[in-house]
Structure 1
Amino acid sequence: MRFQVLDIVFNPPHPVTGAAVAPSDRLNRVVDTAVLAEELGLDSFSVGERHAGEVLSSSPTVILGAIAARTSRILLSTGVTVLSLLDPVRVAEDYATIDQLSRGRFEMVIGKGNEVQQYPVLGLDISKQYEYLQENYELLRQLISGEEVTWSGTHHVPLDKITTLPRPYAGPFRIWHGSATSAFAVDLAARWGDPIVSANAFQPRENYKVLIDRYREQYAEHGHDPAKAYVGSGSGGLFLADTTEQAIEQYRPIYEGAVARADARGYDPKAVGKVTAFRTVEEAVERGPALVGSPERVVEKILDYHQSYGHDLQSVSVNHLLDVEQQHDVLRRFAEEVVPQVRAEVKTDLWTEADSGRAKGFTAV
């Protein structure tokens, strides 16, 4: 199995103390964590994108550029690039720049985004979010794959022999599709032979598994090699302690504070994908995807979910509300005490030389 660290760069105040982290500190900590992830031998570092709420990831390309300059091996990614909101020409230009700066260590995850307030802020009609996603994706594919692109669509202005610069480092970079709540993303990925990343954050595993199973079925029906139907999985947060009981008690204020903050935004508790189905940290640990516990328990849980999902990539997020030293300690323990045990049990050719579609500047150890 391969391992990724994802930071969506949430930056609300601490739910207990009310202390806030300065944006300059928070953003620099993202870069420092990516450097640490590389030092620890993790495979990938991913930066999210949002344009509303208490989040600092409105410019993921800037953050990834800073990470590219501080790293030399780790693969860089997005989680997700909210392609429904963006001009595919700019996306092609911006991310080819990241691909060049990192010397071919970039792959992208696209999606419609999970923040409804982004659409009115940017003057877009949320009822057309899937139309935007499909059209922007199909145009982006053409722009990064070839030169002198001519295009006519519904939402983007026509293009006549347009070549975006810079070009990608060594051919078009791979595009993954973020999957959370609907069949649309997995169907689009399967049609084009792309991999997917399941959010696996807020809902019972059955809700995500049905989409993963549909993806594999559709992927094969479209005539693609099933061996290349790579699947990534997120998690409902990562926190480690010597015992699972200690981990639950130490993580409780942060988890339940986050639930309360989500409730305060006014989402319907039944809104699928917007709020967690697991109201307490015990529920999230016992029945949900939260990787909270002893290293042994987290190993067991990842392997248990792998029995359901068959995933090749495990993405984890360390909560920024922890002290920086504690964040790094959790990540270090994960890399040293969890990752080797899971890798010994789950094999994949993702990002190895056997993976012909991988970022050309990166080969996983």
Structure 2
Amino acid sequence: MQFGIFTVGDVTPDPTTGTTPTEGERIQAMLSYALKAEEVGLDVFATGEHHNPPFVPSSPTTMLGWIAAQTQRLLLTTTTTLITTNDPVKIAEDFAMLQHVSGGRVDLTLGRGNTGPVYPWFGKDIRDGIELAVENYALLRKLWREPVVNWAGKHRTPLQGYTSTPAPLDGVPPFVWHGSIRSPQIAEQAAFYGDGFFHNNIFWNKEHTEQMVKLYRQRFAHHGHGDPEQAIVGLGGQVYMAATKAQAMKEFRPYFDVAPVYGHGPSLEDFSEMTPLTVGTPEEVIERTLGFRDYAGDYQRQLFLIDHAGLPQEAVLEQIEILGTEVVPVLRQEFDRLRAPGVPDAPTHASLLAAAGAGEAAGSEREERDDVDTAAAIAPEARR
């Protein structure tokens, strides 16, 4: 199972000091979190994609490329790559290039985005969100799998004799997760292609998460990719930790109360009860996170949000240290112990490459058998 952190990259005043970081300071802080994640043994660093204030990560592949050059092991990904407003031709190029730069340490999560004004900035209409997600992804898959693409659709100009460069590393496209909080059509899309489904459940109750993951698993099996338990699932989470629960609540409350998304809404206590937000000791985070398995089943990736709402850089680095040294080692051991037989690991470039090689070998064997069978069938006719 993979564990990591993700950032939404908001530039928010620190409510305890009134200080607002510059965009440059916020970006540098995000980079430091990725380096800290590798240092303490986490598996994954992920960034969102936003094109509106107060968020800064408008170019995820630029950021991830820099991190790739500074790390050796960390898997780099997105919590949202906007399949709706980005041109799939550019996504194909950017992430194939990032594959080569990172030595294959990359995958991505596709999402629609839920900020209405962003769509017209890129010449799109939010009312076409689902259509764009479906059509653009179908094209993206072709660009990564066919050397020459001829294509025509509704939402962009046709392609004639087009070749995307560079080609994916080793001929193996990056693994794709489809991220959605509330759209069953996206769960269906992930299931149809046998891709991963990432449910960023930080704003929703467990009943909703259970319903979405169950739908994806059922449709994954329906489309012939394996048993429901073999579907590839990722979940979000949100934590703040201290030596005692009282201390954690006291420290985190000022930031929670003014958070850009849910600030000035439910109380910290109510929100913690309704959603996976866990504010408390490392032991409480371990217990709560293990409980995700009760309603989502065995899953492959767990990402934690820990750096938003104006939290100072020093505090976030401390949270990553606690995750890597006190929380994740226990979660690894317990999730491995509980995992049912036959549940696959999260895909990596190495595993996808091995599977592709096995598939080619199997295909060659089938061709040889077909040749022998055909020769045997033809031989009697030839003797007549």
Q: TM-score, normalised by structure 2?
A: 0.85
Cα–Cα, structure 1 residues 72 and 144, in superposed 2: closer, same or farther, change >3 Å?
Answer: same
Whole-angstrom distance in 2 between the partners of 1:21 and 1:101: 30
Cα–Cα, structure 1 residues 182 and 219, in superposed 2: closer, same or farther, change >3 Å?
Answer: same
Per-residue deviation at 1:248?
A: 1.2
| 1:203 and 2:210 aligned | no
> Which residue does 2:315 correspond to in 1?
326
Per-residue deviation at 1:18?
A: 2.9
What amino acid is the match of 2:287? E
Q: Secondary structure at the match of 1:316?
A: strand
> Which residue does 2:234 correspond to in 1?
232
| 1:284 and 2:286 aligned | no
For structure 1, the 5+ residue unaligned runs are 263-274, 361-365
Contact 1:50–1:115 (CA<8 Å) still a contact in 2?
no
Q: Secondary structure at the match of 1:181?
A: coil
> Which residue does 2:327 correspond to in 1?
338
> Which residue does 1:268 correspond to in 2?
none
Cα–Cα, structure 1 residues 213 and 172, in superposed 2: closer, same or farther, change >3 Å?
Answer: same
Per-residue deviation at 1:319?
A: 2.1
| 1:307 and 2:294 aligned | yes
Whole-angstrom distance in 2 between the partners of 1:340 and 1:349: 20
Cα–Cα, structure 1 residues 15 and 118, in superposed 2: closer, same or farther, change >3 Å?
Answer: farther
Whole-angstrom distance in 1 between the partners of 2:173 and 2:8: 25
Per-residue deviation at 1:343?
A: 1.0
What amino acid is the match of 1:292? V
Q: Secondary structure at the match of 2:225?
A: coil
Contact 1:105–1:359 (CA<8 Å) still a contact in 2?
no
Per-residue deviation at 1:107?
A: 0.5
Task: Choose the corresponding residue for 1:350, options 345, 350, 356.
Answer: 345
For structure 2, the 5+ residue unaligned runs are 337-342, 356-384
Per-residue deviation at 1:139?
A: 0.4
Cα–Cα, structure 1 residues 50 and 314, in superposed 2: closer, same or farther, change >3 Å?
Answer: same
Whole-angstrom distance in 1 between the partners of 2:126 and 2:306: 30
Q: Secondary structure at the match of 2:84?
A: helix
1:337-358 per-residue CA deviation (whole Å, 9 max, x = no partner) reads 1111111111264247898337
Q: Secondary structure at the match of 1:26?
A: helix
Contact 1:174–1:359 (CA<8 Å) still a contact in 2?
no
| 1:180 and 2:165 aligned | no
Cα–Cα, structure 1 residues 203 and 358, in superposed 2: closer, same or farther, change >3 Å?
Answer: farther
> Higher Cα Rg: structure 1 or 2?
2
Q: Secondary structure at the match of 2:276?
A: coil
Whole-angstrom distance in 2 between the partners of 1:92 and 1:291: 37
Q: Secondary structure at the match of 1:177?
A: strand
Whole-angstrom distance in 2 between the partners of 1:240 and 1:326: 10
Contact 2:175–2:348 (CA<8 Å) still a contact in 1?
no
Instruction: Show the 5 A alignment for 1:103-118.
Output: 103-118=103-118
Cα–Cα, structure 1 residues 174 and 9, in superposed 2: closer, same or farther, change >3 Å?
Answer: same
What amino acid is the match of 2:183? S
What amino acid is the match of 1:315? L
1:8-64 per-residue CA deviation (whole Å, 9 max, x = no partner) reads 211122244331111111111211111111111111111110112300011111111
1:85-133 per-residue CA deviation (whole Å, 9 max, x = no partner) reads 0111111111111111001111010010132221132231110011111
